[in-house]
Amino acid sequence: MPLIDTANAFIELFAQPVRATNSGSLAGLTFAAKDNIDVEGRITGNGNPIWRRAHGPAAAHAPVVARLLAEGAVLAGKTHMDEFAYSLMGTNAHYGTPLNSAAPDRVPGGSSSGSAAAVAAGLVEFALGTDTGGSVRLPASFNGIFGMRPSHGAIDMGGVVPLSPGFDTLGWFARDVETLVRVGRALGLAGEANFSTAWLPSDIWTGVDPGLAALLRPMAEKIAALFDKTVTDPLPIVGPEERSEAFRFWQGYDAWKALGGWIEAHDVDLGPDIAARFAVARSVSDETFAKVDAVRHEIATAMDAALAGGLGMIIPTGPGPAPRRDSSQEIFDAYRQQAIGLLSIAGHASLPQISMPAGKMDGGPVGLSVIGRRGCDGGLLDLLKRL
């Protein structure tokens, strides 16, 4: 029976799904790929119609797609995304907003909006996304599914259109732990668990909405009880506003280097929010970048030291449920600023993070995350299985 896209998740749903073999660790599982990831013979649209028209079909699969196909997974199609992957809400001025099946009146989150929507709607077993500032973790939280952001560099980014190479990672979504872990194993994620101490940073848990903290804390404490001990020391790094600003300018500088020349040369029609973001990116000076790069280095160094002793950090994935679809741009921007304060902890320090569904608040799903030290991706998946 042909797949029917009930969630506006796909920009291209293949009439004949792509299959390489009938055997392998992922045999029979269907998946989707975000539209900034190359699929042989298909155009990589990157969330923008002018980009799509300016590029021909990809000459080869991105290595991550080739590997999943070689493990027996079946590719159903390519999914919608925010323009150039430069947003967190999941709206697109050209292609619309995919459906958040768990909360239809709320946005699905981005930039991997279609991939999250496809998994949440049960259209595929798992889906690939990219995560630069939270573009897998936050949609996972918004849609009530699992999502993993691996350590920076853990998965080959070949054949993926960059946004900010210094932050970009390849991640994926699934509705259950078993599938999330199977995909990670198929992608070769390594690293041992060796988690002995649960870390619930006091500044994070007192800094989020009290209702969110009250909802998530029982689950967090239940997870913490599986460790040998629990600590609540505050984060040894700058606060959420400073983390967010450092991320915004670092990412912007990097994004303009990656895409600015092409955007200027093609006079690209951008949605208002994306246009404003690239305008800021264009204006980031070398001096500003040097300052925020120093902040990022300090964060990474401090987090590496803090997590070296077998700690697993447990924090809310985002500041609350997804904003409503009819929210103003001001509300979206304010939410994004808050969210980056949480999401950039792993981003600045190149850490692996898994978001898991943890209940609903005001009718919208919210997620709880576990973060491990850099390079312990396989161990983090082992920990998830225990949880």
Encode pLDDT of 284-304 as tens digits. 999 999 999 999 999 999 999
Residues 2-21 pLDDT 10s = 899 999 999 999 999 999 99
Q: Is the pLDDT of residue 323 over 90?
A: yes
- Give the model's pLDDT for residue 165: 98
CATH fold of 10-186, please? Amidase signature (AS) enzymes (3.90.1300)
* Distance separating alpha carbons of residues 165 and 255, to the nearest angstrom: 8
Q: Return the pLDDT at 1.
A: 67
Tell me how far apart the alpha carbons of residues 333 and 327 are, in angstroms, rounded to a whole number: 10
The amino acid at 28: G
**What confidence score (pLDDT) does residue 386 get?**
86
Chain-centroid distance, C-alpha 36 = 13
Instruction: Write down how long the chain is.
Output: 387
Residues 6+ apart with CB under 8 A from 163: 36, 84, 85, 86, 130, 132, 251, 254, 255, 258, 259
In contact, 354 and 380? CB cutoff 8 Å: yes
The pLDDT > 90 percentage for the chain reads 97
Mean of the pLDDT values across residues 303-307?
Answer: 97
Q: Which of 135, 141, 151, 164 is catalytic?
A: 135
Stretch(es) of the chain classified as CATH 3.90.1300.10? 10-186
Residue 309, pLDDT score:
85
Tell me which of 34, 112, 113, 115 is the catalytic residue.
34
Name residue 197's beta-bridge partners. 229, 311
- Report the alpha-carbon distance of residue 312 to residue 40 in Å, rounded: 39
Looking at residue 377, its amino acid is D
pLDDT at residue 191 is higher than 80 = no
Per-residue pLDDT tens over the stretch 42-53: 999 999 999 999
Q: SS3 letters for the chain? A: CCCCCCCCCEEEEEEEEECCCCCCCCCCCEEEEECCECCECCECCCCCHHHHHHCCEECCCCHHHHHHHHCCCEEEEEECCCHHHCCCCCCCCCCCCCCCCCCCCECCCCCCHHHHHHHHCCCCCEEEEEECCCCCHHHHHHHCCEEEECCCCCCCCCCECCCCCCCCEEEEEECCHHHHHHHHHHCCCCCCCCCCEEECCHHHHHHCCHHHHHHHHHHHHHHHCCCCEEECCCCCCCCHHHHHHHHHHHHHHHHHHHHHHHHHHHCCCCCHHHHHHHHHHHHCCHHHHHHHHHHHHHHHHHHHHHHCCCEEEEEECCCCCCCECCCCHHHHHHHHHHHHHHHHHHHHHCCCEEEEEEEEECCEEEEEEEECCCCCHHHHHHHHHHC
> Does the pLDDT value for residue 100 go beyond 90?
yes
Residue 135 is among the residues annotated as catalytic for this protein: yes
Q: For residue 179, what are the contacts with CB-CB under 8 A and spacing of at least 6?
A: 29, 125, 126
From 87, 111, 112, 344, active-site residue: 111
User: What band does 305 get if pLDDT is binned at 50, 70 and 90?
Assistant: very high
Cα first-last separation, the chain = 36
Residues of the chain with pLDDT > 70: what percent? 99
Going from the C-alpha of 24 to that of each of 18, 123, 156, 187, 356, the distances in angstroms are: 15, 21, 20, 12, 26
CA distance 178 to 180: 6
Q: Which two tokens stand for residue 355?
A: 């978001």
Model confidence band, residue 194 (pLDDT cutoffs 50, 70, 90): confident
**222 catalytically annotated:** no
**pLDDT-based confidence at residue 192 (cuts at 50, 70, 90):** confident
What CA dihedral angle connects 7, 8, 9 and 10, to 10 degrees? 140
Res. 344: pLDDT tops 80: yes
Mean pLDDT over all residues of the chain?
97
Is 172 in contact with 129 (CB distance < 8 Å)? yes
196-237 residue pLDDT tens:
999 999 999 999 999 999 999 999 999 999 999 999 999 999
Reported as a single tens digit per residue, the pLDDT across 106-127 is: 999 999 999 999 999 999 999 9
d(CA 373, CA 172): 19
* 111 carries an active-site annotation: yes
Q: How far apart are CA 285 and CA 231, in angstroms?
A: 40
- Give Cα 104 distance to the centre of its chain: 20
